[in-house]
Structure 1
Amino acid sequence: MTLVTTAELVSAASAAGTGVLALNVITIEHAQAIAAAAERAGRPAILQISQNAARYHGGVSAIAAATADIAHQARARLALHLDHVDDMALLRQAPSTGFSSVMVDASALPYADNVATTRQAAEWAHQQGLWVEAELGYVGGKPDAPASAHGAGVRTDPGEAAQYVAETGVDALAVAVGSSHAMAERTASLDLDLVTAIRDAVPVPLVLHGSSGVPLEQIRAATGRGIVKINIGTALNVAFTDAVRETVPLSRDPRRYLAAGRDAMTEVVTGLLELWPSAK
């Protein structure tokens, strides 16, 4: 099946009042697992490659090409998204490497610098036909995190969010409402009233980063209050790593333990994709 765009999937989910999962791709096995799960569940999904994952592969082109090829062969509606980009040179590679969308991450900068950086990047990206996500507030768990994601001072302010969207022209806004990156347990607590207030203040879909640490019932509740794109990464890595650890003592053939990791991720993603009805 031909790749669809992130804009199509987010728009469909938003219209249906549901969510669409954006799942992190680090290895080819991640992409294969996500595609297989989407086929099994009969749901769309966004395959996203972060700037860090691109650096791990020595550049984005190889892992993007492999991921796009897997998506093309899948019998599911899949999109390709470039995530957490603060390197403008990498951003400029997005159109030629198959991405339909990008997340410009200037969230660690002071507000005025965040706006200026994001606006400039969004203007260029829109000229290339890319859908643009950005972040206001600060979702914890990143190496340069200035504070805990659970502190009130790093939460997204609804009024500031409205101003930010107007000034930058972004298509979606990632918000800090209590989630945190790299959580292996679902112990985060979302401020659902804040999600509602931000939704009422801004005209674009909202994005939840760090969703691996959020209880599933809270993810469902958040999608009813304005969260549309839900990013998942750590949950896949936990499943992958646990399966590999169990299988490595049984074989020196990497295909055996990598396949076990891929199968474990497929099971996890299938369950996550079935959180909501499919957005047609």
Structure 2
Amino acid sequence: MPLVPTGDLVEQARAAGRAVAAFNVITLEHAEGIALGAERAGLPVILQLSENAVRFHGFPHALAAASAAVARNSSSDISLHLDHITDVSLLHMAPELDVSSVMYDGSEFGYAENVHNTREAVEWGRKHGIWIEAELGRVGGKDGAHAPGVRTDPGEALEFVEATGVAALAVAVGSSHAMTSKSAALDHELIRTLSSMLPVPLVLHGSSGVPDGELTLAARAGMVKINIGTALNIAYTSATRRFLDSNPSVVDPRKYLMPSRDAIAGTVEHSLKILADAASISL
């Protein structure tokens, strides 16, 4: 199928009262596993390429081209997204990479500079048909907005959205990047407040550390785009370890990458069904 714009997937989810999941791609097997999980669940997904993943591969074209090819050969609706982009030159490559959306990360700057730089990214995005997500403050795995106890201020968030014109906003409501245990407790009242005050969809980063029930309630409360990365890596690496521990003489990577890819698909299918259930859950 053709690539679907991220903005379309997000708005469809918002209208249906559910969330759409965005999964981080590091290897080709990630992309294939994500697409397979989406097909099994019968739901759309967003393939995310982080700036760190792009740097790992040396240049963006290979990972983007492979992910786009996987998406086009899938029966599910899939979009391609650049995540946590700080390098403006990489942001400007989005159209040639078949990417329809970018999360511009200006969190390393102070508020005024973040507003200025994010607004420039948004203005560029409008000229080139690129949907821009941003964040207020620092997000997960770093000191700042997703450190324990830190929360997004609704008034400041509204001011930021109005000043920048972003299409979606990542907010701090209790999650953190790179969590390997599902122990995060989200502030659902804050999610509801932000959802009612802000005119744009809310994005949850660091969702791998959020229990299933919390994710369902978060989607019901107003989270629309849910980012998941570490959970896939846990599934991938755990399956690889199990296979190699049981088959120490195997040297053909296809032998252990197959169950590893399938483990990603299982995690994706489960996550998508959890988020789809949000539309039928009452708070």
Give the TM interval when normalised to the shorter protein.
Answer: over 0.9
Question: Alpha-carbon deviation of 1:139?
Answer: 2.5
Note closer, same or farther for the CA distance 1:133–1:189 as it changes in structure 2 (3 Å cut): same
Aligned to 1:79, what secondary structure does the other structure show?
strand
Aligned to 1:156, what secondary structure does the other structure show?
coil
Note closer, same or farther for the CA distance 1:133–1:147 as it changes in structure 2 (3 Å cut): closer
Aligned to 2:274, what secondary structure does the other structure show?
coil
Question: Alpha-carbon deviation of 1:248?
Answer: 2.4
Write the distance in 1 (CA, Å) between the matches of 2:138 and 2:198.
18
1:135-171: CA deviations, max 9, x gaps?
Answer: 11333214xx34762123xx21100000000000100
Aligned to 1:82, what secondary structure does the other structure show?
strand
Structure 1 match to 2:204? 208
For residues 37-52 of structure 1, what are the structure 2 equivalents within 5 Å? Answer: 37-52=37-52
For residues 137-148 of structure 1, what are the structure 2 equivalents within 5 Å? Answer: 137-142=137-142, 145-146=143-144
Note closer, same or farther for the CA distance 1:210–1:68 as it changes in structure 2 (3 Å cut): same
My pick for the range that moved more, 207-216 or 269-278, is 269-278
Alignment check: 8 A CA contact 2:71 2:78 kept: yes
My pick for the range that moved more, 178-187 or 246-255, is 246-255
Write the distance in 2 (CA, Å) between the matches of 1:276 and 1:253.
36
Question: Alpha-carbon deviation of 1:276?
Answer: 3.7
Write the distance in 2 (CA, Å) between the matches of 1:193 and 1:277.
21
Structure 1 match to 2:153? 157
Write the distance in 2 (CA, Å) between the matches of 1:77 and 1:119.
29
Write the distance in 2 (CA, Å) between the matches of 1:256 and 1:38.
23
1:208-240: CA deviations, max 9, x gaps?
Answer: 000000111111111112110000000000000
Structure 2 match to 1:258? 257
Structure 1 match to 2:191? 195
Alignment check: 8 A CA contact 1:28 1:67 kept: yes
Aligned to 1:224, what secondary structure does the other structure show?
helix
The normalised TM-score by structure 1 is 0.95
For residues 30-109 of structure 1, what are the structure 2 equivalents within 5 Å? Answer: 30-109=30-109
Question: Alpha-carbon deviation of 1:66?
Answer: 0.3
Question: Alpha-carbon deviation of 1:274?
Answer: 0.8
For residues 230-249 of structure 1, what are the structure 2 equivalents within 5 Å? Answer: 230-249=226-245
Alignment check: 8 A CA contact 1:178 1:189 kept: yes
Structure 1 match to 2:131? 131
Aligned to 1:274, what secondary structure does the other structure show?
helix
My pick for the range that moved more, 217-226 or 161-170, is 217-226
The normalised TM-score by structure 2 is 0.94
1:154-192: CA deviations, max 9, x gaps?
Answer: x21100000000000100000011100000111011111
Q: Could you tell me which of 162, 167, 180 is aligned with 1:166?
A: 162
Which AA in structure 1 matches 2:254? R
Alignment check: 8 A CA contact 1:138 1:175 kept: no
Write the distance in 1 (CA, Å) between the matches of 2:124 and 2:54.
21
1:95-134: CA deviations, max 9, x gaps?
Answer: 1111000000012321111101101111111110001100
Write the distance in 1 (CA, Å) between the matches of 2:274 and 2:115.
34
RMSD of aligned Cα (Å): 1.4
- Matched positions, count: 275
1:57-84: CA deviations, max 9, x gaps?
Answer: 1011100000000000000000000000
Write the distance in 2 (CA, Å) between the matches of 1:135 and 1:236.
23
Structure 1 match to 2:182? 186
Alignment check: 8 A CA contact 2:145 2:172 kept: no
Structure 1 unaligned runs (5+)? none
Structure 2 match to 1:16? 16
Structure 2 unaligned runs (5+)? none
Which AA in structure 2 matches 1:131? W
Write the distance in 1 (CA, Å) between the matches of 2:32 and 2:231.
16
